[in-house]
Chain A
Amino acid sequence: MKTIYLDNNATTMVAPEVLEEMLPYFRDLYGNPSSIHTFGGQVAKKIAEAREKAASLLGAEPDEIVFTSCGTESDNAAILSALSVNPGKNHIVTSRVEHPAVKVLCERLAAKGYRVTELPVDSDGMIDMDAYRRFLTPDTAVVSIMWANNETGVIFPVEEMASIAKERGIMFHTDAVQAAGKIPINMKNNEIDMLSISGHKLHAQKGIGILYIRKGTSFSPFLIGGHQEKGRRGGTENVPGIIGLGKACELAYLNLERENNYVKSLRDRLENALLKKIPRCKVNGHRQNRLPNTTNMSFESVEGESILLLLDQYGICASSGSACTSGSIQPSHVLRAMGVPYTMIHGSVRFSLSIYNTEEEIDFVIDVMPKIIERLRQMSPYWRHEQEACSSV
């Protein structure tokens, strides 16, 4: 069975060009980039090239790019560094809808005595900027807000938020794991101090990430060891990973327009067709202010894992905010923060597309999805109630 992969916010396919670029560095060119000999030196040159490509995607300077092991490491390194270089300050501002890499870290820090403010979001998943301004205090060490949300795709005004923080002398970090490669990012146009990227969300391999650190930003390393990454991240470089990520950044830059036209049109085609063909379903999150590849939809009276299992029978990959799929008992913290009713969170499905999806694939999903929802609604004790409630209005 052919796989129709619509779970690109979870992870992406390694681009063929990326794999090609990486392969020699697993076997033939295995030198240590720190070595003095030519054999290692040629690897160092290739890493420098990758750093330039990554910097280009972000409108950054190569020196501002630090390669890490993943998005989570970048997030941890940024927040812990900000606290470390602001020893007198005890307050962290974040949002209720962050990825666990930030959310759980902040919970840990709260348990250690830091004061943590989680900004609320409205029913569209948007942050209240007045509330944001109010929560910033002279005691605030760092603000960490994601650029775009992984579950809904909702984009946050992090550039404006960074400027507001800067005016008050507060460090600003953003988790741009979902934004990078999907929407333009130009660090020359903003005052964000630190930014996290994950390789496997933009068609590079798993186990590689970036922490952007603006020139002049005080930084205290997370991994302490050798001189690698100019002393900002110890440990021998993940050479194939870095080289692959460099190539992926180059491709992401070239594909940005395709992402915002082609992928967006596929996403809209899917979303509009499902809204039309399936009664009582809705889109979660602001429909304009959103990543071009993501749609998060709730289907009343049915449960997300069941939808995913039936989609899986057709080879279609998606994910859900349902409690039953989260690995924990609690349903999506993002949809809860948005005030989505409990049963609608249970019935939520996220489709996240990439440039590798085709119109045929989307039309296939449009064809099978109404059958799947109808089938599960026939099984649901809630569905008749819904119809009665509906007809009695």
Chain B
Amino acid sequence: MTRGPYNETVMDHFMNPRNMGEIENPDAVAEVGNNVCGDTMKIYLKIEDNRIVDVKFKTFGCGAAIASSSMTTELVKGKTIEEALKITNQQVSEALGGLPPAKQHCSVLAEDALRAAIEEYRKRNKQKGS
């Protein structure tokens, strides 16, 4: 039986979040707040040869926010930066088997955090390169 407002996949990612935690000496890190509801996600990336080899997150938020964070980290792990940037919140939501309409905005948080981290990585690398 599914309990509460979410489907089994969402509940599984909420109850057993993948890649939850921190990375020491990450290559990129970003903390993003959802200006809709106040949820916050912090994402850490380890990048080697343009590929995301490790990713961790911490999220302050509801079930949908935590599940979206978890799913996003699963989707980007092993991807190149370019591939990771193509991932949208709709894809995250679909991978979770759908979110309740009022919770769609929660999946945007993870997308925003990921983009912010990659942006930071690129800035940092540019500085290194110059």
In the complex, the answer to whether A327 meets B102 with C-beta atoms within 8 Å is yes
Q: Does A322 contact B (CB under 8 A)?
A: yes
CB distance from A92 to the nearest CB of B (A): 31
| Cα–Cα distance between A351 and B12 once the two chains are bound (Å) | 26
Instruction: Find the residue from A303, A331, A378 having the highest chain B CB count within 10 A.
Output: A303
Q: State which of A301, A302, A305, A329 has its C-beta within 8 Å of the C-beta of B63.
A: A305
| Cα–Cα distance between A302 and B58 once the two chains are bound (Å) | 11
CB distance from A6 to the nearest CB of B (A): 16
| Cα–Cα distance between A306 and B61 once the two chains are bound (Å) | 7
In the complex, the answer to whether B63 meets A309 with C-beta atoms within 8 Å is yes
In the complex, the answer to whether A303 meets B20 with C-beta atoms within 8 Å is no
Q: State which of B36, B38, B59, B62 has its C-beta within 8 Å of the C-beta of A380.
A: B59
In the complex formed, the residue of B with least CB distance to A380 is: B60
CB distance from A211 to the nearest CB of B (A): 33
Give every chain B residue within 8 A of A325 (Cβ-Cβ): 62
Q: Does A189 contact B (CB under 8 A)?
A: no
| Cα–Cα distance between A312 and B11 once the two chains are bound (Å) | 12
In the complex, the answer to whether B63 meets A331 with C-beta atoms within 8 Å is no
Q: State which of A302, A312, A313, A323 has its C-beta within 8 Å of the C-beta of B60.
A: A302
Give every chain B residue within 8 A of A301 (Cβ-Cβ): 60
Give every chain B residue within 8 A of A382 (Cβ-Cβ): 40, 60
CB distance from B62 to the nearest CB of A (A): 4
| Cα–Cα distance between A342 and B34 once the two chains are bound (Å) | 13
In the complex, the answer to whether A323 meets B3 with C-beta atoms within 8 Å is no
Q: Does B110 contact A (CB under 8 A)?
A: no
In the complex, the answer to whether A381 meets B40 with C-beta atoms within 8 Å is yes
In the complex, the answer to whether B38 meets A381 with C-beta atoms within 8 Å is no
CB distance from B14 to the nearest CB of A (A): 6
CB distance from B112 to the nearest CB of A (A): 14
In the complex, the answer to whether A381 meets B60 with C-beta atoms within 8 Å is yes
Q: State which of A309, A342, A380 has its C-beta within 8 Å of the C-beta of B58.
A: A380
Question: How many residues of chain A have a CB within 8 Å of chain B?
Answer: 24
Give chain A interface residues in 357-389, CB to chain B under 8 Å. 378-382
Question: How many residues of chain B have a CB within 8 Å of chain A?
Answer: 28
Give every chain A residue within 8 A of B106 (Cβ-Cβ): 324
Give every chain B residue within 8 A of A381 (Cβ-Cβ): 31, 40-42, 58-60
Give chain B interface residues in 55-69, CB to chain A under 8 Å. 58-66
CB distance from A201 to the nearest CB of B (A): 23
- With A303-B62, A322-B62, A381-B31 as known contacts, state yes or no: A309 contacts B40, CB within 8 Å: no
In the complex, the answer to whether A379 meets B66 with C-beta atoms within 8 Å is yes
CB distance from A144 to the nearest CB of B (A): 30
CB distance from B58 to the nearest CB of A (A): 4
| Cα–Cα distance between A346 and B4 once the two chains are bound (Å) | 19
Q: State which of B3, B42, B62 has its C-beta within 8 Å of the C-beta of A305.
A: B62
| Cα–Cα distance between A301 and B38 once the two chains are bound (Å) | 12
Give every chain A residue within 8 A of B4 (Cβ-Cβ): 309, 312
In the complex, the answer to whether A342 meets B38 with C-beta atoms within 8 Å is yes
Q: Does A343 contact B (CB under 8 A)?
A: yes
Instruction: Find the residue from B11, B37, B60, B106 having the highest chain A CB count within 10 A.
Output: B60
Give chain B interface residues in 1-59, CB to chain A under 8 Å. 3-4, 6, 11, 14-15, 17, 20, 31, 36-42, 58-59
In the complex formed, the residue of A with least CB distance to B43 is: A381
Give every chain A residue within 8 A of B3 (Cβ-Cβ): 312-313
CB distance from B45 to the nearest CB of A (A): 15
In the complex formed, the residue of A with least CB distance to B32 is: A381
| Cα–Cα distance between A301 and B6 once the two chains are bound (Å) | 23
Q: State which of A303, A313, A329 has its C-beta within 8 Å of the C-beta of B61.
A: A303
Q: State which of B14, B31, B41, B59 has its C-beta within 8 Å of the C-beta of A309.
A: B14
| Cα–Cα distance between A380 and B14 once the two chains are bound (Å) | 13
| Cα–Cα distance between A7 and B21 once the two chains are bound (Å) | 33
Q: List 24 A-B contacts (CB under 8 A).
A: A303-B39, A303-B61, A304-B62, A305-B63, A306-B63, A309-B4, A312-B4, A322-B62, A323-B37, A324-B39, A324-B61, A324-B63, A324-B106, A325-B62, A342-B38, A346-B60, A378-B20, A379-B66, A380-B58, A381-B31, A381-B41, A381-B42, A381-B59, A381-B60
Give me the interface of A with B, judged by CB distance under 8 Å.
Answer: 301-306, 309, 312-313, 322-325, 327, 329, 331, 342-343, 346, 378-382
- Closest CB pairs A-B (n = 5): A324-B62, A381-B42, A305-B62, A381-B58, A323-B37
